[in-house]
């Protein structure tokens, strides 16, 4: 790519201003306010005398219930990530290696169609499959394999199944990019030298795709711990995760300060994950494809 026309700032640069304004007013200001609110005793609009406090964070740290909620959120995130990786890798490998253009397009559509279907719709789909009178239980009952319906949802298993389905496309797309960049001739060279295809995969392809595995895992984990719809519907309001707790603080308790503190916890976790994700992708693609 040639150098841009002229090398100093020009009139087109002004076109950034509307977006800059939107981001300043509707993104950075609100997040800054959230950080401040998490440290205030009350809402400055309603309460006249307010002061700085760390009580919201102390409440979080002192009550084992909230730590339990954070741990549940992380545990669900970890299981979702692990299963999404195990399911996503073979499909990503196939997509990266398939020779036929039409085959690739079909696979891409199969991955993108669920991704572009709303999250509520996909969660609903899993409810029809997993509920007591759902499709899976009906089939198992009619085949005589079970005598009473299996408890497939309203527990963490149901949540994890739903989350894996929703976020596995992100894993597949991240991995496909990385596996596609691994030179196929390296695997073939290993096989020429006598390695079995399986051994060639484990000793050549898998180690080379490690940065992609980490990047995809970080992405899926970050998405899974911030999910709201799937945990609440497939968990049947029984299982409390951080996003559910945040919304509950707003809708039921109207405790904005505590909600802000919980939000800051989620923000810090997500921020660290994003930094790690970008670092990993940077490792695979060098500097050039960061944009």
Partner 1 sequence: MATSVTPSPTLARPELAGASRSTDQVIAHRSAPGRTGRAIYLAANIAILVFLLAPIAIVFVFALNPTPFIQFPPVGVSLRWFEKFFSARDFMHALVFSLEVAVLTTMAATVLGASAALAIARGNIPGSRIIVATMLSPLMLPAILTGLALFQAYVLLDVGRPVWGLVAGHTLVTIPYVVRTTLAVLHNFDTRLEEAAQNLGASPTRTFFEVTLPLVKPGVLAGGIFAFIVSFDQFPVSLFLVSPGNETLPITLFNYLKFDLDGTIGAASVISILLAVLVVIALDRTVGLRSTVKL
Chain residues 261-290 in contact with partner 1, contact rule CB under 8 A: 263, 266-267, 270, 274, 277-278, 289-290
d(CA 9, CA 31): 30
d(CA 232, CA 126): 13
Residue 214 engages partner 1 in binding (rule: CB under 8 A): no
Buried b (16+ CB within 10 A) or exposed e, 251-265: eeeebbbbbbbbbbb
- Closest by Cα among 245, 275, 277 to 262: 245
What's the min distance (Å) between Cβ of 259 and partner 1? Answer: 6
Residue 202 engages partner 1 in binding (rule: CB under 8 A): no
For partner 1, the closer of residues 134 and 211 by Cβ is 134
x/- string (CB under 8 A) for partner 1, residues 80-109? -------x--xx--x----x----xx-xxx
CB-CB contact of 266 with 226 (8 Å): yes
Residue 217 engages partner 1 in binding (rule: CB under 8 A): no
For partner 1, the closer of residues 49 and 64 by Cβ is 49
CB-CB contact of 76 with 224 (8 Å): yes
Which tokens go with 232?
């609440």
Binding segment toward partner 1, per CB under 8 A, in 64-72, 114-122, 150-158, 202-210: 114-122
The DSSP symbol for 9 reads: -
Determine the angle formed by the axes of helices 156-181 and 64-97, rounding to 10 degrees: 40
- Given 239, 246, 261, 284, the residue binding partner 1 (CB under 8 A): 246
Residues 126-165 that bind partner 1 (CB under 8 A): 126-129, 131, 133-135, 138-139, 165
What's the min distance (Å) between Cβ of 119 and partner 1? Answer: 5
For partner 1, the closer of residues 49 and 185 by Cβ is 185
- Closest by Cα among 204, 218, 206 to 282: 218
- Closest by Cα among 104, 83, 241, 77 to 168: 83
Three-state DSSP state, 254: coil
Residues 39-78 that bind partner 1 (CB under 8 A): 43-45
For partner 1, the closer of residues 31 and 67 by Cβ is 31
- Given 54, 192, 238, 253, the residue binding partner 1 (CB under 8 A): 192
Binding segment toward partner 1, per CB under 8 A, in 51-59, 65-73, 146-154, 227-235: 227-235
What's the min distance (Å) between Cβ of 129 and partner 1? Answer: 6
Centre a 10 Å sphere on the Cβ of residue 88 and count the other Cβ atoms it contains.
27
What's the min distance (Å) between Cβ of 147 and partner 1? Answer: 18
**52 φ/ψ angles, rounded to the nearest 5 degrees:** -75, 145
Residues 162-191 that bind partner 1 (CB under 8 A): 165, 168-170, 173-174, 177, 184-185, 188-189, 191
Long-range contacts of 271-275 (CB under 8 A, 24+ apart): 273/218, 273/221, 273/222, 274/218, 274/222
Which tokens go with 195?
């390695």
For partner 1, the closer of residues 89 and 156 by Cβ is 89
């Amino acid at each position: 790519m040639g150098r841009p026309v002229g090398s100093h700032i020009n009139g087109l640069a002004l076109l950034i201003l509307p977006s800059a304004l939107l981001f300043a007013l509707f993104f950075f200001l609100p997040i800054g306010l959230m950080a401040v609110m998490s440290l205030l005793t009350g809402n400055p609009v309603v309460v006249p005398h307010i002061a700085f406090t760390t009580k919201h964070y102390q409440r979080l740290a002192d009550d084992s219930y909230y730590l339990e909620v954070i741990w549940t959120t992380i545990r669900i995130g970890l299981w979702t990530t692990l299963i999404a990786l195990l399911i996503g890798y073979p499909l990503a490998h196939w997509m990266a290696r398939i020779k036929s253009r039409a085959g690739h397009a079909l696979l891409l559509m199969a991955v993108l169609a669920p991704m572009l279907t709303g999250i509520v719709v996909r969660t609903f789909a899993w409810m029809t499959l997993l509920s007591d009178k759902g499709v899976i239980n009906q089939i198992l009952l009619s085949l005589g394999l079970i005598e009473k319906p299996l408890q497939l949802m309203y527990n963490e298993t149901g949540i994890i199944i739903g989350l894996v389905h929703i976020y596995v496309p992100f894993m597949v797309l991240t991995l496909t990019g990385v596996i596609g960049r691994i030179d196929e001739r390296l695997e073939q060279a290993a096989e020429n030298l006598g390695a079995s295809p399986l051994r060639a995969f484990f000793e050549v392809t898998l180690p080379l795709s490690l940065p992609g595995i980490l990047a995809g895992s970080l992405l899926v984990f970050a998405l899974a711990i911030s999910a709201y719809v799937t945990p609440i519907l497939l968990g049947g309001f029984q299982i409390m995760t951080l996003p559910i707790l945040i919304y509950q603080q707003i809708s039921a308790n109207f405790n904005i300060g505590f909600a802000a503190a919980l939000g800051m916890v989620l923000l810090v976790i997500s921020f660290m994950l994003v930094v790690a994700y970008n670092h990993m992708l940077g490792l695979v693609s060098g500097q050039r494809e960061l944009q």
